[in-house]
Structure 1
Amino acid sequence: MSLKGPIISIEDDADDQFLIRSVVEELNIPNKLLFFGNGLEALLFLETTKEQPFVILCDINMPVMNGLELRERIEKNDYLKRKSIPFVFLTTADNPLIIDTAYSSTIQGFFKKENSFTELKNRFRVIYEYWQCCLHPNSYM
């Protein structure tokens, strides 16, 4: 994790991308925000970039490769595992079985996408401020 690294948002819904971008702008978060429409696009980027992302925010239900599949692929990839990128689900999928499955794959958080802009902004603030303060193996990159 790099405090100045990009925020990776894996989100296939254009409206949700717009809301996330608006929240980041309103909170004056200086990190670059990169969107990927599915897990495979994000995985290809993560495997080839030299950048050290700040955090990955991932939806669960997406085409091509869903969030759970992406997390599994990251865990099996030595290069990406060494990067120790914080991985947080931000999704509408709040089924207890999905939450249990997600945490069995060593994620660092699971947050429900809120329906209101204000609630989403508050969620995002909590996630961002937590990772700004958290000591992490790659905090000094």
Structure 2
Amino acid sequence: MNGPILIVEDDEDDQFIFNKIFSELQIADKIKYFTNPAKALAFLREDPCQPFLIICDINLPVMNGLEFKTAIDRDPILRAKSIPFVFLSTSTARKMVDKAYKELTIQGYFQKSDDYEDLKHRLCSILDYWQHCQHPNSP
């Protein structure tokens, strides 16, 4: 894992739980949290780093996760970065899932779990997959 993992999540309790999980997985120092997508978008446009992965909620302030991913897809410089992007949300309405896969370039849509161990397993699975997957940002 070279670049940071961007977590776009406005719920402080979820951020706390994610941070605890990432700490247990010994990768907490590579995590950047954003409470709204506009700030994450500004970071992506201003910082030359190559993020390893974006994990994003759907229901967010300022713009929702779908709008955030649309903005990334429409920006030629950000699109060229080929940043793996997954949704991790309590919102699993079929309409949202369909839109995410049919209209955007996402690589996964996962439901947040209320169970700590289950959430930890999901996050671990996501990270493990991207660490072993060949993609344009692979070392």
**Unpaired runs of at least 5, structure 1:** none
Matched residues, number: 138
CA contact (8 A) 2:88 2:109 kept: yes
Farther-moved stretch of structure 1 (121-130 vs 19-28): 19-28
SS at match of 1:115: coil
Among candidates 1, 13, 18, match of residue 20 of structure 1:
18
Work out the percentage of aligned pairs sharing the same amino acid: 49
Q: Name the amino acid aligned to 1:98.
A: M
Structure 1: how far apart are the matches of 2:61 and 2:28? 30
CA contact (8 A) 2:92 2:111 kept: yes
Structure 2: how far apart are the matches of 1:77 and 1:128? 25
Structure 2: how far apart are the matches of 1:49 and 1:126? 27
Structure 1: how far apart are the matches of 2:88 and 2:132? 20
Structure 2: how far apart are the matches of 1:81 and 1:31? 25
Q: Deviations over 1:89-139 (max 9, x none)?
A: 011001011000111211000010100110110000100000000001121
The equivalences for 1:1-141 within 5 A come to 3-29=1-27, 32-104=30-102, 105-140=104-139
Structure 1: how far apart are the matches of 2:47 and 2:133? 23
CA contact (8 A) 1:60 1:91 kept: yes
Q: How well do the aligned residues superpose, as a CA RMSD in angstroms?
A: 1.0
Structure 1: how far apart are the matches of 2:46 and 2:131? 25
Q: TM-score, normalised by structure 1?
A: 0.95
